[in-house]
Amino acid sequence: MRIVIAAATIMLLVFAISGCGAQGRVNVGTDDADTSQVLATVGDLNITEQMVSVELEQIPPYQRAAFETPEGRRVLIDHLVEQELLLAAASDLGLDEDSFVVAQVEIAMAQVENARKWALIQVFYQQQVVESVIVPEEDILEYYQEHADDIYHQEEQIKLSHIMVTAPEDTSIVAAALAEGTPFGEAASSLSTHMTSAAEDGNLGWVTVNSPMPYLGSQPELSAILFDTPLNEVVGPYETELGYHFFLITDAQEEGTKPLEDVRDSIDDILKPALVNSYLQDELLPQLMVDYGVTVNEQAFLPAEDIPADSLLQSAQNLMETNPEGAVRYFNLFLDRFPDHERAHQAQFLIGFTLSEQLGDYEGAGRAFRAVIENYPESDFADDAAWMIENMGVPPEDIIFEEIQTDSTV
Protein backbone atom coordinates (compact mmCIF):
# COMPACT_ATOMS: atom_id res chain seq x y z
CA MET A 1 0.00 0.00 0.00
CA ARG A 2 2.87 2.39 0.82
CA ILE A 3 4.23 1.91 -2.70
CA VAL A 4 0.86 2.70 -4.27
CA ILE A 5 0.43 5.84 -2.17
CA ALA A 6 3.96 7.04 -2.94
CA ALA A 7 3.41 6.50 -6.66
CA ALA A 8 0.11 8.36 -6.51
CA THR A 9 1.77 11.23 -4.67
CA ILE A 10 4.49 11.46 -7.29
CA MET A 11 2.00 11.43 -10.16
CA LEU A 12 -0.11 14.17 -8.58
CA LEU A 13 2.93 16.34 -8.02
CA VAL A 14 4.22 15.71 -11.53
CA PHE A 15 0.80 16.75 -12.87
CA ALA A 16 0.63 19.85 -10.69
CA ILE A 17 4.25 20.95 -11.05
CA SER A 18 6.03 19.28 -13.94
CA GLY A 19 2.99 19.76 -16.13
CA CYS A 20 3.57 23.47 -15.75
CA GLY A 21 6.84 23.27 -17.61
CA ALA A 22 9.37 22.06 -15.05
CA GLN A 23 10.14 18.63 -16.44
CA GLY A 24 13.26 16.54 -16.06
CA ARG A 25 16.22 17.03 -13.76
CA VAL A 26 16.20 20.34 -11.93
CA ASN A 27 19.33 22.34 -12.65
CA VAL A 28 20.01 26.02 -12.27
CA GLY A 29 21.60 27.23 -15.50
CA THR A 30 23.61 30.13 -14.18
CA ASP A 31 27.23 31.12 -14.50
CA ASP A 32 27.40 31.97 -10.80
CA ALA A 33 27.89 29.23 -8.20
CA ASP A 34 24.73 28.40 -6.27
CA THR A 35 25.58 29.43 -2.71
CA SER A 36 22.02 29.45 -1.40
CA GLN A 37 20.95 27.30 1.53
CA VAL A 38 21.04 23.53 1.00
CA LEU A 39 17.61 22.07 1.75
CA ALA A 40 18.24 18.43 0.89
CA THR A 41 20.84 16.18 -0.68
CA VAL A 42 20.55 13.19 -2.99
CA GLY A 43 23.95 11.56 -3.14
CA ASP A 44 26.34 14.26 -4.36
CA LEU A 45 23.53 16.56 -5.54
CA ASN A 46 22.50 19.48 -3.34
CA ILE A 47 18.93 20.68 -3.66
CA THR A 48 19.13 24.35 -2.73
CA GLU A 49 16.92 27.31 -2.00
CA GLN A 50 17.72 28.72 -5.41
CA MET A 51 16.66 25.50 -7.14
CA VAL A 52 13.36 25.56 -5.27
CA SER A 53 12.81 29.19 -6.30
CA VAL A 54 13.37 28.25 -9.96
CA GLU A 55 10.89 25.40 -9.59
CA LEU A 56 8.32 27.72 -7.99
CA GLU A 57 8.57 30.14 -10.92
CA GLN A 58 7.45 27.35 -13.27
CA ILE A 59 4.17 26.90 -11.38
CA PRO A 60 1.24 29.08 -12.58
CA PRO A 61 0.26 31.83 -10.11
CA TYR A 62 -3.11 30.20 -9.34
CA GLN A 63 -1.27 27.07 -8.10
CA ARG A 64 1.90 28.66 -6.77
CA ALA A 65 0.45 29.93 -3.49
CA ALA A 66 -0.12 26.37 -2.28
CA PHE A 67 3.66 25.71 -2.49
CA GLU A 68 4.86 28.99 -0.96
CA THR A 69 3.85 28.05 2.59
CA PRO A 70 6.31 26.11 4.78
CA GLU A 71 4.18 23.00 4.33
CA GLY A 72 3.94 23.50 0.59
CA ARG A 73 7.70 24.05 0.26
CA ARG A 74 8.29 20.77 2.09
CA VAL A 75 5.98 18.99 -0.36
CA LEU A 76 7.96 20.59 -3.19
CA ILE A 77 11.26 19.41 -1.69
CA ASP A 78 9.87 15.89 -1.40
CA HIS A 79 8.88 16.03 -5.04
CA LEU A 80 12.36 17.15 -6.09
CA VAL A 81 13.97 14.42 -4.01
CA GLU A 82 11.67 11.77 -5.47
CA GLN A 83 12.34 13.06 -8.97
CA GLU A 84 16.11 12.86 -8.47
CA LEU A 85 15.86 9.38 -6.96
CA LEU A 86 13.85 8.07 -9.91
CA LEU A 87 16.19 9.79 -12.35
CA ALA A 88 19.30 8.33 -10.70
CA ALA A 89 17.83 4.83 -10.61
CA ALA A 90 16.80 5.05 -14.26
CA SER A 91 20.26 6.20 -15.30
CA ASP A 92 21.92 3.37 -13.34
CA LEU A 93 19.79 0.90 -15.31
CA GLY A 94 21.06 2.38 -18.56
CA LEU A 95 17.64 3.62 -19.60
CA ASP A 96 19.20 6.62 -21.33
CA GLU A 97 19.32 4.42 -24.44
CA ASP A 98 15.76 3.17 -24.15
CA SER A 99 13.90 3.68 -27.44
CA PHE A 100 11.16 5.75 -25.78
CA VAL A 101 13.70 8.05 -24.11
CA VAL A 102 15.68 8.45 -27.32
CA ALA A 103 12.50 9.19 -29.29
CA GLN A 104 11.34 11.80 -26.78
CA VAL A 105 14.73 13.50 -26.82
CA GLU A 106 14.71 13.56 -30.62
CA ILE A 107 11.23 15.10 -30.62
CA ALA A 108 12.32 17.72 -28.09
CA MET A 109 15.46 18.56 -30.08
CA ALA A 110 13.37 18.93 -33.24
CA GLN A 111 11.04 21.28 -31.40
CA VAL A 112 14.00 23.30 -30.15
CA GLU A 113 15.39 23.54 -33.68
CA ASN A 114 12.01 24.62 -35.05
CA ALA A 115 11.74 27.25 -32.32
CA ARG A 116 15.23 28.51 -33.22
CA LYS A 117 14.30 28.74 -36.91
CA TRP A 118 11.07 30.60 -36.29
CA ALA A 119 12.77 32.99 -33.88
CA LEU A 120 15.42 33.74 -36.51
CA ILE A 121 12.77 34.31 -39.18
CA GLN A 122 10.75 36.61 -36.92
CA VAL A 123 13.76 38.70 -35.95
CA PHE A 124 14.97 38.92 -39.56
CA TYR A 125 11.49 39.84 -40.81
CA GLN A 126 11.11 42.58 -38.20
CA GLN A 127 14.58 44.06 -38.60
CA GLN A 128 15.25 43.59 -42.33
CA VAL A 129 11.75 43.81 -43.78
CA VAL A 130 9.33 45.74 -41.55
CA GLU A 131 11.84 48.25 -40.23
CA SER A 132 13.40 48.69 -43.68
CA VAL A 133 10.18 50.01 -45.19
CA ILE A 134 9.33 53.67 -44.68
CA VAL A 135 5.97 54.97 -45.88
CA PRO A 136 6.73 57.96 -48.15
CA GLU A 137 5.50 61.29 -46.82
CA GLU A 138 3.62 61.97 -50.05
CA ASP A 139 1.67 58.73 -49.62
CA ILE A 140 0.66 59.72 -46.09
CA LEU A 141 -0.42 63.18 -47.27
CA GLU A 142 -2.38 61.74 -50.19
CA TYR A 143 -4.26 59.28 -47.97
CA TYR A 144 -4.92 62.01 -45.39
CA GLN A 145 -6.34 64.37 -48.01
CA GLU A 146 -8.48 61.63 -49.60
CA HIS A 147 -10.13 60.92 -46.25
CA ALA A 148 -10.20 64.42 -44.75
CA ASP A 149 -14.00 64.54 -45.09
CA ASP A 150 -14.80 61.05 -43.80
CA ILE A 151 -12.34 59.07 -41.68
CA TYR A 152 -10.55 62.12 -40.30
CA HIS A 153 -13.50 64.45 -40.01
CA GLN A 154 -14.35 65.33 -36.42
CA GLU A 155 -17.40 67.03 -34.99
CA GLU A 156 -17.16 69.79 -32.42
CA GLN A 157 -16.35 68.26 -29.06
CA ILE A 158 -15.42 69.21 -25.52
CA LYS A 159 -13.61 67.40 -22.73
CA LEU A 160 -15.62 67.44 -19.50
CA SER A 161 -15.00 66.99 -15.80
CA HIS A 162 -17.76 67.12 -13.20
CA ILE A 163 -18.50 66.99 -9.50
CA MET A 164 -21.79 65.34 -8.54
CA VAL A 165 -23.63 65.43 -5.23
CA THR A 166 -27.00 63.87 -4.48
CA ALA A 167 -28.31 66.30 -1.86
CA PRO A 168 -29.07 69.92 -2.85
CA GLU A 169 -27.56 71.25 0.38
CA ASP A 170 -24.20 69.70 -0.57
CA THR A 171 -23.92 72.01 -3.58
CA SER A 172 -22.96 74.87 -1.25
CA ILE A 173 -20.07 72.77 0.12
CA VAL A 174 -18.74 72.18 -3.39
CA ALA A 175 -19.21 75.85 -4.35
CA ALA A 176 -17.37 76.99 -1.21
CA ALA A 177 -14.46 74.62 -1.85
CA LEU A 178 -14.07 75.84 -5.42
CA ALA A 179 -14.39 79.48 -4.34
CA GLU A 180 -11.58 78.95 -1.83
CA GLY A 181 -9.31 77.84 -4.69
CA THR A 182 -9.48 74.07 -4.30
CA PRO A 183 -8.46 72.56 -7.67
CA PHE A 184 -11.46 71.10 -9.49
CA GLY A 185 -9.90 67.62 -9.72
CA GLU A 186 -9.08 67.59 -6.01
CA ALA A 187 -12.61 68.69 -5.14
CA ALA A 188 -14.07 66.03 -7.42
CA SER A 189 -11.90 63.36 -5.84
CA SER A 190 -12.94 64.27 -2.27
CA LEU A 191 -16.50 65.57 -2.64
CA SER A 192 -18.11 63.91 -5.68
CA THR A 193 -20.51 61.06 -4.98
CA HIS A 194 -20.04 59.70 -8.52
CA MET A 195 -17.35 57.21 -7.58
CA THR A 196 -16.34 56.18 -11.10
CA SER A 197 -15.42 59.68 -12.26
CA ALA A 198 -14.25 60.79 -8.80
CA ALA A 199 -11.46 58.22 -9.06
CA GLU A 200 -10.36 60.08 -12.23
CA ASP A 201 -10.55 63.58 -10.67
CA GLY A 202 -14.02 64.00 -12.15
CA ASN A 203 -12.97 63.34 -15.75
CA LEU A 204 -15.86 62.33 -18.06
CA GLY A 205 -13.81 62.31 -21.25
CA TRP A 206 -14.68 63.78 -24.63
CA VAL A 207 -18.27 64.62 -25.56
CA THR A 208 -19.34 65.21 -29.16
CA VAL A 209 -21.99 67.80 -29.89
CA ASN A 210 -25.51 66.30 -29.81
CA SER A 211 -24.20 62.98 -28.49
CA PRO A 212 -25.16 61.39 -25.13
CA MET A 213 -23.03 62.46 -22.19
CA PRO A 214 -21.03 59.78 -20.33
CA TYR A 215 -23.07 58.36 -17.42
CA LEU A 216 -25.71 61.10 -17.88
CA GLY A 217 -27.24 60.04 -21.19
CA SER A 218 -28.96 62.45 -23.57
CA GLN A 219 -29.03 65.97 -22.12
CA PRO A 220 -29.68 68.33 -25.07
CA GLU A 221 -30.34 71.48 -23.04
CA LEU A 222 -27.39 70.91 -20.73
CA SER A 223 -25.18 69.98 -23.68
CA ALA A 224 -26.04 73.26 -25.43
CA ILE A 225 -25.03 75.19 -22.29
CA LEU A 226 -21.76 73.32 -21.91
CA PHE A 227 -20.76 73.77 -25.54
CA ASP A 228 -21.23 77.54 -25.08
CA THR A 229 -19.15 77.55 -21.88
CA PRO A 230 -15.61 79.01 -22.17
CA LEU A 231 -12.62 76.78 -21.58
CA ASN A 232 -11.58 76.25 -17.91
CA GLU A 233 -14.73 77.93 -16.56
CA VAL A 234 -16.73 76.13 -13.85
CA VAL A 235 -20.51 76.13 -14.30
CA GLY A 236 -23.31 74.71 -12.18
CA PRO A 237 -24.92 73.29 -10.27
CA TYR A 238 -27.26 71.67 -12.83
CA GLU A 239 -29.76 69.03 -11.84
CA THR A 240 -30.12 65.66 -13.58
CA GLU A 241 -31.80 62.41 -12.58
CA LEU A 242 -28.53 61.38 -10.87
CA GLY A 243 -28.06 64.51 -8.76
CA TYR A 244 -26.52 67.97 -8.93
CA HIS A 245 -23.49 68.67 -11.09
CA PHE A 246 -20.71 71.20 -11.41
CA PHE A 247 -18.89 71.07 -14.77
CA LEU A 248 -15.47 72.16 -16.00
CA ILE A 249 -14.53 72.28 -19.69
CA THR A 250 -10.88 71.21 -19.74
CA ASP A 251 -10.35 71.07 -23.51
CA ALA A 252 -12.22 71.69 -26.75
CA GLN A 253 -11.91 70.92 -30.45
CA GLU A 254 -13.73 72.66 -33.27
CA GLU A 255 -15.46 70.81 -36.09
CA GLY A 256 -13.11 70.04 -38.95
CA THR A 257 -10.36 67.69 -39.99
CA LYS A 258 -8.22 66.06 -37.34
CA PRO A 259 -4.65 67.37 -37.41
CA LEU A 260 -2.32 65.27 -39.54
CA GLU A 261 0.07 64.72 -36.65
CA ASP A 262 -2.74 63.19 -34.59
CA VAL A 263 -3.47 60.56 -37.24
CA ARG A 264 -0.06 60.11 -38.87
CA ASP A 265 0.73 56.91 -36.98
CA SER A 266 -2.64 55.35 -37.86
CA ILE A 267 -2.14 56.21 -41.55
CA ASP A 268 1.32 54.66 -41.40
CA ASP A 269 -0.20 51.50 -39.89
CA ILE A 270 -2.75 51.36 -42.73
CA LEU A 271 -0.32 51.91 -45.60
CA LYS A 272 2.75 50.08 -44.36
CA PRO A 273 1.59 46.41 -44.61
CA ALA A 274 1.08 46.64 -48.39
CA LEU A 275 4.48 48.30 -48.85
CA VAL A 276 6.13 45.69 -46.62
CA ASN A 277 4.57 42.86 -48.62
CA SER A 278 5.54 44.49 -51.92
CA TYR A 279 9.13 44.97 -50.74
CA LEU A 280 9.31 41.37 -49.54
CA GLN A 281 7.81 39.80 -52.66
CA ASP A 282 9.14 42.10 -55.37
CA GLU A 283 12.58 43.04 -54.08
CA LEU A 284 13.96 41.14 -51.12
CA LEU A 285 12.92 37.56 -51.94
CA PRO A 286 14.00 37.78 -55.62
CA GLN A 287 17.36 39.16 -54.50
CA LEU A 288 17.76 36.44 -51.87
CA MET A 289 16.96 33.82 -54.50
CA VAL A 290 19.83 35.16 -56.58
CA ASP A 291 22.17 35.47 -53.60
CA TYR A 292 21.53 31.93 -52.39
CA GLY A 293 21.14 30.24 -55.77
CA VAL A 294 17.53 29.07 -55.72
CA THR A 295 16.37 26.84 -58.55
CA VAL A 296 12.94 25.26 -58.92
CA ASN A 297 12.21 22.25 -61.10
CA GLU A 298 9.22 23.76 -62.91
CA GLN A 299 8.75 20.59 -64.96
CA ALA A 300 7.65 18.80 -61.81
CA PHE A 301 4.64 21.13 -61.51
CA LEU A 302 3.42 21.01 -65.13
CA PRO A 303 0.25 19.13 -66.15
CA ALA A 304 0.69 15.41 -66.76
CA GLU A 305 1.87 14.26 -70.19
CA ASP A 306 -1.41 12.47 -70.89
CA ILE A 307 -3.69 15.49 -70.37
CA PRO A 308 -5.81 16.06 -73.53
CA ALA A 309 -5.03 19.07 -75.72
CA ASP A 310 -8.37 20.81 -75.15
CA SER A 311 -8.08 20.36 -71.38
CA LEU A 312 -4.58 21.85 -71.38
CA LEU A 313 -5.70 24.82 -73.47
CA GLN A 314 -8.69 25.41 -71.18
CA SER A 315 -6.45 25.27 -68.11
CA ALA A 316 -4.23 27.93 -69.67
CA GLN A 317 -7.20 30.18 -70.39
CA ASN A 318 -8.48 29.75 -66.84
CA LEU A 319 -5.18 31.13 -65.53
CA MET A 320 -5.10 34.27 -67.66
CA GLU A 321 -6.54 36.61 -65.02
CA THR A 322 -5.46 34.98 -61.79
CA ASN A 323 -1.96 33.79 -62.81
CA PRO A 324 -0.95 35.29 -66.17
CA GLU A 325 2.64 34.02 -65.91
CA GLY A 326 1.30 30.50 -65.42
CA ALA A 327 -1.10 30.98 -68.34
CA VAL A 328 1.78 31.90 -70.69
CA ARG A 329 3.70 28.85 -69.46
CA TYR A 330 0.70 26.58 -70.16
CA PHE A 331 0.08 28.09 -73.64
CA ASN A 332 3.74 27.47 -74.53
CA LEU A 333 3.45 23.93 -73.18
CA PHE A 334 0.40 23.41 -75.38
CA LEU A 335 2.39 24.52 -78.45
CA ASP A 336 5.31 22.28 -77.49
CA ARG A 337 3.10 19.22 -77.06
CA PHE A 338 0.58 19.86 -79.84
CA PRO A 339 2.31 22.02 -82.50
CA ASP A 340 -0.03 20.86 -85.27
CA HIS A 341 -3.26 21.16 -83.30
CA GLU A 342 -6.12 23.01 -85.03
CA ARG A 343 -6.17 25.56 -82.16
CA ALA A 344 -2.44 26.19 -82.09
CA HIS A 345 -2.92 29.62 -83.70
CA GLN A 346 -5.32 30.55 -80.89
CA ALA A 347 -2.80 29.54 -78.22
CA GLN A 348 -0.09 31.61 -79.93
CA PHE A 349 -2.36 34.66 -80.07
CA LEU A 350 -3.37 34.29 -76.42
CA ILE A 351 0.30 34.26 -75.40
CA GLY A 352 0.68 37.69 -76.96
CA PHE A 353 -2.63 38.91 -75.54
CA THR A 354 -1.73 37.81 -72.00
CA LEU A 355 1.73 39.36 -72.17
CA SER A 356 0.28 42.62 -73.48
CA GLU A 357 -2.93 43.06 -71.51
CA GLN A 358 -2.14 41.26 -68.25
CA LEU A 359 1.61 41.66 -67.84
CA GLY A 360 2.39 44.81 -69.84
CA ASP A 361 5.28 43.03 -71.59
CA TYR A 362 4.85 44.69 -74.98
CA GLU A 363 8.18 43.48 -76.35
CA GLY A 364 7.37 39.84 -75.62
CA ALA A 365 3.81 40.33 -76.81
CA GLY A 366 5.07 41.76 -80.10
CA ARG A 367 7.17 38.65 -80.70
CA ALA A 368 4.19 36.42 -79.93
CA PHE A 369 1.86 38.36 -82.27
CA ARG A 370 4.41 38.32 -85.10
CA ALA A 371 4.66 34.54 -84.66
CA VAL A 372 0.89 34.36 -85.29
CA ILE A 373 1.28 36.35 -88.53
CA GLU A 374 4.32 34.37 -89.71
CA ASN A 375 3.25 30.85 -88.69
CA TYR A 376 -0.50 31.10 -89.26
CA PRO A 377 -0.99 33.68 -92.06
CA GLU A 378 -4.36 32.18 -93.09
CA SER A 379 -5.74 32.26 -89.54
CA ASP A 380 -8.49 34.67 -88.49
CA PHE A 381 -6.14 35.66 -85.65
CA ALA A 382 -3.49 37.02 -88.06
CA ASP A 383 -5.40 40.27 -88.62
CA ASP A 384 -6.12 40.55 -84.89
CA ALA A 385 -2.41 40.08 -84.15
CA ALA A 386 -1.50 42.85 -86.59
CA TRP A 387 -4.05 45.17 -84.99
CA MET A 388 -2.70 44.37 -81.50
CA ILE A 389 0.87 45.17 -82.61
CA GLU A 390 -0.27 48.61 -83.76
CA ASN A 391 -2.37 49.38 -80.68
CA MET A 392 -0.54 47.82 -77.72
CA GLY A 393 -0.43 50.23 -74.82
CA VAL A 394 -2.80 52.73 -76.42
CA PRO A 395 -5.61 53.78 -74.04
CA PRO A 396 -9.03 52.47 -75.18
CA GLU A 397 -10.50 55.97 -75.40
CA ASP A 398 -7.75 57.00 -77.82
CA ILE A 399 -8.40 53.93 -80.00
CA ILE A 400 -12.10 54.76 -80.17
CA PHE A 401 -11.34 58.39 -81.01
CA GLU A 402 -9.04 57.36 -83.86
CA GLU A 403 -11.68 55.01 -85.26
CA ILE A 404 -14.31 57.77 -85.15
CA GLN A 405 -11.96 60.18 -86.87
CA THR A 406 -11.24 57.61 -89.57
CA ASP A 407 -14.93 56.96 -90.13
CA SER A 408 -15.76 60.66 -90.38
CA THR A 409 -13.21 61.31 -93.07
CA VAL A 410 -14.31 58.48 -95.33
Instruction: Give me the CATH number covering residue 185.
Output: 3.10.50.40
Does the pLDDT at position 9 exceed 90? no
- pLDDT of residue 49 exceeding 80: yes
Q: Residue 135's pLDDT is what?
A: 96
CATH of the domain at 319: 1.25.40.10
Residues 55 and 115 in one domain: no
Measured distance CA(316)–CA(118) in Å, rounded: 37
pLDDT, residue 300, reads: 87
Assess whether pLDDT exceeds 80 at residue 1: no
Distance CA 285, CA 92 (A): 52
What is the spatial distance between Cα 95 and Cα 39, in angstroms, rounded to a whole number? 28
pLDDT of residue 350: 97
pLDDT digits (tens, 9 = 90+) for 295-338: 989 888 889 999 999 999 999 999 999 999 999 999 999 999 99
Question: Do 281 and 332 belong together in one domain?
Answer: no
Q: How many CA atoms lie less than 13 Å away from 195 in the CB half-sphere?
A: 0
- In terms of domains, do 20 and 54 share one? yes
Rounded mean pLDDT, 207-222: 90
Q: How confident is the model at residue 320, as a pLDDT?
A: 96
Q: What is the pLDDT of residues 97-140, one digit of tens each?
A: 999 999 999 999 999 999 999 999 999 999 999 999 999 999 99
Question: Taking 90 as the threshold, does the pLDDT of residue 29 lie above it?
Answer: no
Same structural domain, 49 and 34: yes
What pLDDT is attached to residue 32? 60
**74 and 120 co-located in one domain:** no
What is the rounded distance in angstroms from the CA atom of residue 342 to the CA atom of residue 97? 68
Q: Where are the alpha helices (DSSP H) in 125-259?
A: 137-146, 170-179, 184-191, 195-198, 220-227
Q: Is residue 231 a contact partner of residue 249, using CB atoms and an 8 Å limit?
A: yes
Structure confidence at residue 113 (pLDDT): 97
Residues 87 and 176 in one domain: no
For residues 238 and 357, state if they share a domain.
no
> Both 375 and 393 in a single domain?
yes
Same domain, 186 and 39: no
User: What is the model's pLDDT at position 399?
Assistant: 53
Distances (CA, A) of 144 to 258, 259, 260, 261, 265: 10, 10, 7, 10, 11
Characterise 199 by phi-psi region: left (phi > 0), alpha (psi -120 to 50), beta (else): alpha
Domain of residue 9 covers 2-95
For residues 138 and 177, state if they share a domain.
Answer: no
Share of residues in the chain with pLDDT > 90 (%): 78
Q: Tens of pLDDT along 58-86?
A: 999 989 999 999 999 999 999 999 999 99
pLDDT of residue 34: 82
226 shares its domain with 351? no
| Mean pLDDT, all residues of the chain | 88
Residues 14 and 49 in one domain: yes
pLDDT value at 26 more than 80: no
pTM of the model: 0.56
State mean pLDDT over 149-172. Answer: 93
Q: Is the pLDDT of residue 353 over 50?
A: yes
Domain count, the chain: 5
